[in-house]
Chain A
């Protein structure tokens, strides 16, 4: 079954890429190589510079791939593997990839301007400005969600914590070798990869045990420090090692899933409303986009596509591979995650229960009601179930010659590396967002503006709120809120794409963008409403301060959501499409 799903998923992606994708390219976007792209038209040798499509695909994919396409599907398995897989595939093909592709192509036609700029032009100034607010909320929630994931993983498997620290040291050494010793790049790469392997081995030998709260404090200071040191000291060599880790993890996972030849242990469908977010019965619709974000669709991708990729696109026909194809790769990564957990997740739970001498009964009839609780109790929530299932999947194939404990640390480091990169990225983005958000205060309250725009204040605000929320422990609330902010950005970007094809291209197939945009908006709105009414009261009652913090963020987003659609319907683009 594992093998069948992987091959079937691969075939679906390939066929839809060649049919639906090509249709979008031809009839919706009307891509033409006759039109010069910004990389040629505005060539400056720095930002606007053309890249070969294969290279750009790699760069774009590395920018959009992270920990979220792994975590989301791991949680969604509580609905059973079939609903999770369907949302990844259908959401990916008809919404997520369309969203990424349209964002990229709209930006290409707008001289490489961002989707935020295009939204301002096509929908309204307010929409463009509100982008900053949503991204700022996303930054706070992403710090909270990812800090909790890494903290949970470091506590559960201390070897991952130590291996990660050794990897940071390896990255520092690699930075010295490349920039100070001016070592040949290929040789330095080989040394870096050897050090990475050594870090994994050493991590298993010398695990670092610390409490969850200790790790929260470490992350808080790490976030502040990591963004203040020059990029070539830590960030760059570490990201370089991360990309090797990403490809190693993907290749190993793909091979293991292909050769596992294993039936699924997890039920295909475990009910429409299993217990998940905030310990409440969570209906598949509308809550699924709050749980599976990046593996299916992500608003953040629209920023990447319209930020750097659109400035480097060589010709318009390359856009399909970069915008549409890279999202398929991300969906395929989520497919591997679902296959690993569906095939080996139950065994992982059983093994963990045996080690802790805990008894549990989990079958198709009680899966939805008890899976999330049991996995949390056994320390296999968040990324941990994936890490264990991934290691078991590799051990069940000819890859078993690699000791399981190393595969487990590799998978853990894969997730931790992406999540950790995100933590120190947030500071740089938050500084920019806060300065733009505070801009209206520049004249009326100069002192307050200067305070908020200060780099240290702008760094500490999202880090402090995010880590505080992570430390509060209600992770499933934070994850759902993170999903909501991400999907809200996606909703705006897709509306922008729809407005673009309707207004600028006068495309007869604008519905290919308008229908998913409408469906996504309705789903996200219903999900937000459900979250605020059903989940948040419990969260507030349990822990008032973090509960109210998240509620305020959700309510503001809910209001902004209506502002967007009001502006969109009012805009000439929508009237033209109608």
Chain B
């Protein structure tokens, strides 16, 4: 009984801590996403009309870009629907 109460209290504090950390890192994640977008654009810029790096470099980096490619496709799909995401990340009132 007592141990379960103690466990529950510990969990509440752990969640509290996790919430704080999660909230605090959300903004860094947002900036990281922007850097990822720029990185993906540098490598795959030819799709958008930007000059790409030499082909052999792009091809060599391609296997490491799998996740970025997936995120890029999703972002391209969602790029006109960012208002709510921005509100959720940076808050308003």
Q: List residues of A whose CB falls within 8 A of some B CB.
A: 42, 44-47, 51-52, 54-55, 57-59, 62-64, 66-68, 107, 113-117, 131-132, 135, 138, 142, 146, 185, 189, 230-232, 235-237, 239-240, 243-244, 247, 294, 298, 300, 302-309, 311, 418, 421-422, 425-426, 428-429, 432-433, 436
In the bound complex, how far is the Cα of B74 from the Cα of A261, in angstroms? 55
- Between-chain CB contacts (< 8 Å), 5 pairs: A46-B33, A54-B12, A142-B92, A239-B27, A304-B91
Q: A44 — which chain B residues lie within 8 A by C-beta?
A: 67, 70-71, 74
Q: List residues of B whose CB falls within 8 A of some A CB.
A: 12, 15-16, 18-24, 26-31, 33, 36, 67, 70-71, 74, 78, 80-93
Q: Is the Cβ of B93 less than 8 Å from the Cβ of A131?
A: no
Q: Is the Cβ of B23 less than 8 Å from the Cβ of A62?
A: yes
| 9 additional contacts (CB under 8 A) given A230-B31, A304-B84, A422-B93 | A55-B19, A62-B23, A115-B84, A132-B83, A240-B23, A244-B20, A308-B26, A422-B92, A425-B91
CB distance from B10 to the nearest CB of A (A): 13
A421 in contact with B91 given A45-B67, A59-B23, A240-B24 (CB within 8 Å)? yes
Select from chain A the residue with minimum beta-carbon distance to B33: A46
A236 in contact with B27 given A114-B85, A429-B90 (CB within 8 Å)? yes
Q: B92 — which chain A residues lie within 8 A by C-beta?
A: 66, 138, 142, 300, 303, 422, 425-426, 429
Q: Is the Cβ of B93 less than 8 Å from the Cβ of A307?
A: no
Interface-central residue, B12, B30, B78, B83, by most chain A CB under 10 Å: B83
In the bound complex, how far is the Cα of B18 from the Cα of A67, in angstroms? 24
CB distance from A346 to the nearest CB of B (A): 29
Closest 5 CB pairs of A and B: A58-B19, A308-B88, A307-B88, A114-B84, A307-B84
Q: Is the Cβ of A142 less than 8 Å from the Cβ of B93?
A: yes
A425 in contact with B90 given A52-B15, A307-B85 (CB within 8 Å)? yes
Q: A66 — which chain B residues lie within 8 A by C-beta?
A: 91-93
Q: Is the Cβ of A418 less than 8 Å from the Cβ of B87?
A: no
In the bound complex, how far is the Cα of B92 from the Cα of A114, in angstroms? 16
Q: Is the Cβ of A113 less than 8 Å from the Cβ of B67?
A: no
Other-chain residue from B19, B31, B33, B88 in contact with A303 (beta carbon distance below 8 A): B88
In the bound complex, how far is the Cα of B80 from the Cα of A146, in angstroms? 29
Q: Is the Cβ of A240 less than 8 Å from the Cβ of B20?
A: yes
Q: Is the Cβ of A433 less than 8 Å from the Cβ of B83?
A: yes
Q: B91 — which chain A residues lie within 8 A by C-beta?
A: 62-64, 66, 239, 304, 421-422, 425
CB distance from A500 to the nearest CB of B (A): 15
CB distance from B83 to the nearest CB of A (A): 6
CB distance from B80 to the nearest CB of A (A): 8
Other-chain residue from A47, A185, A422 in contact with B85 (beta carbon distance below 8 A): A47
Q: B82 — which chain A residues lie within 8 A by C-beta?
A: 432
Query: Total A-B pairs in contact (CB under 8 Å)?
Result: 148
Interface-central residue, B19, B31, B74, B84, by most chain A CB under 10 Å: B84
Q: A57 — which chain B residues lie within 8 A by C-beta?
A: 19
Q: Is the Cβ of A304 less than 8 Å from the Cβ of B88?
A: yes
A68 in contact with B93 given A44-B70, A45-B67, A239-B23 (CB within 8 Å)? yes
Select from chain B the residue with minimum beta-carbon distance to A309: B88
In the bound complex, how far is the Cα of B31 from the Cα of A232, in angstroms? 9
Other-chain residue from B15, B28, B80, B85 in contact with A55 (beta carbon distance below 8 A): B15
Q: A306 — which chain B residues lie within 8 A by C-beta?
A: 84
Q: Is the Cβ of B87 less than 8 Å from the Cβ of A307?
A: yes
Q: Is the Cβ of B27 less than 8 Å from the Cβ of A235?
A: yes
CB distance from A177 to the nearest CB of B (A): 13
Select from chain A the residue with minimum beta-carbon distance to B82: A432
Q: Is the Cβ of B87 less than 8 Å from the Cβ of A300?
A: yes
Q: Is the Cβ of B93 less than 8 Å from the Cβ of A52?
A: no
Q: A42 — which chain B residues lie within 8 A by C-beta?
A: 74
In the bound complex, how far is the Cα of B92 from the Cα of A298, in angstroms? 11
Q: A308 — which chain B residues lie within 8 A by C-beta?
A: 26, 84-85, 88-89
In the bound complex, how far is the Cα of B19 from the Cα of A142, in angstroms? 27
Q: B93 — which chain A residues lie within 8 A by C-beta?
A: 66-68, 142, 146, 294, 298, 300, 418, 422
Select from chain A the residue with minimum beta-carbon distance to B12: A54
Other-chain residue from B19, B74, B81 in contact with A59 (beta carbon distance below 8 A): B19
In the bound complex, how far is the Cα of B19 from the Cα of A547, in angstroms? 43
Q: Is the Cβ of B21 less than 8 Å from the Cβ of A185?
A: yes
In the bound complex, how far is the Cα of B20 from the Cα of A231, in angstroms? 16
In the bound complex, how far is the Cα of B92 from the Cα of A426, in angstroms? 7
In the bound complex, how far is the Cα of B88 from the Cα of A304, in angstroms? 4
Q: A68 — which chain B residues lie within 8 A by C-beta?
A: 93
Q: A131 — which chain B residues lie within 8 A by C-beta?
A: 83
Other-chain residue from B16, B70, B83 in contact with A114 (beta carbon distance below 8 A): B83
In the bound complex, how far is the Cα of B4 from the Cα of A323, in angstroms? 28
In the bound complex, how far is the Cα of B85 from the Cα of A309, in angstroms? 9
Q: Is the Cβ of A303 less than 8 Å from the Cβ of B87?
A: yes
Other-chain residue from A54, A298, A429 in contact with B83 (beta carbon distance below 8 A): A429
Q: B84 — which chain A residues lie within 8 A by C-beta?
A: 107, 114-116, 302-304, 306-308
Q: A132 — which chain B residues lie within 8 A by C-beta?
A: 83
Select from chain B the residue with minimum beta-carbon distance to A433: B83
Select from chain A the residue with minimum beta-carbon distance to B24: A240
A231 in contact with B27 given A46-B71, A303-B87 (CB within 8 Å)? yes
A236 in contact with B24 given A55-B18, A55-B19, A425-B90 (CB within 8 Å)? yes
Q: Is the Cβ of A243 less than 8 Å from the Cβ of B23?
A: yes
In the bound complex, how far is the Cα of B92 from the Cα of A303, in angstroms? 10
Q: B20 — which chain A residues lie within 8 A by C-beta?
A: 58, 189, 240, 243-244
CB distance from A527 to the nearest CB of B (A): 19
Q: Is the Cβ of B81 less than 8 Å from the Cβ of A117?
A: yes
Other-chain residue from A51, A115, A311, A429 in contact with B22 (beta carbon distance below 8 A): A51
Q: Is the Cβ of B86 less than 8 Å from the Cβ of A307?
A: yes
Q: Is the Cβ of B88 less than 8 Å from the Cβ of A52?
A: no
CB distance from B58 to the nearest CB of A (A): 22
In the bound complex, how far is the Cα of B91 from the Cα of A146, in angstroms? 14
